[in-house]
């Protein structure tokens, strides 16, 4: 399994870009990087995923380094509703034949007015 390392917490001013880093130095060539977030009392919400190219959708951008050993999730204009725990996950193939999501401790992002 490729493990990920994230800072435990970050603050971001409302309206500013939030840049959340993730290290995954043991990632394999065919393993995708996924980002989810979890707001208190809700289920994890899928944000974005990528393999090696940078990706962008309506929620965020994902920047993956060329060596794929780290990535950054960018929320371009953070709002108070973006306050959540953000999880960076490298999916691993289980022995039973499915891709598992292994959630770590994530980064608690606090957006400050």
105 lies in the binding site for other proteins (CB under 8 A):
yes
Q: For residue 28, how far is the Cα from the chain centroid?
A: 17
Task: Give the residue with the Cβ less far from other proteins, 96 or 113.
Answer: 96
Which segment (8-16, 62-70, 75-83, 92-100) binds other proteins by CB under 8 A?
A: 92-100
Out of 51, 52, 54, 112, the only residue in the binding site for other proteins (CB under 8 A) is 51
Q: Would you state the structure tokens that stand for residue 40, as one six-digit string?
A: 């208190």
Nearest to 47 by CA among 16, 24, 75, 26: 75
Nearest to 103 by CA among 10, 22, 19: 22
42 lies in the binding site for other proteins (CB under 8 A):
yes
- State the residues that interact with other proteins by CB under 8 A: 30-32, 34, 41-46, 49, 51, 91, 93-94, 96-105
């Amino acid at each position: 399994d490729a493990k990920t390392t994230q800072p435990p917490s970050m603050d971001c001013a409302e309206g500013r870009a939030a840049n959340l880093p993730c290290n995954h130095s043991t990632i394999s060539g065919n393993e995708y990087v996924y980002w989810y977030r979890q707001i208190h009392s809700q289920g994890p919400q899928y944000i974005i995923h990528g393999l090696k190219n940078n990706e962008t959708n309506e929620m965020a951008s994902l920047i993956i380094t060329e060596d794929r050993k780290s990535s950054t999730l960018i929320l371009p204009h953070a709002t108070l509703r973006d306050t959540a725990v953000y999880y960076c996950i490298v999916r691993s193939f289980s022995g039973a034949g499915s891709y598992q999501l292994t959630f770590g401790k994530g980064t608690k992002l606090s957006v400050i007015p």
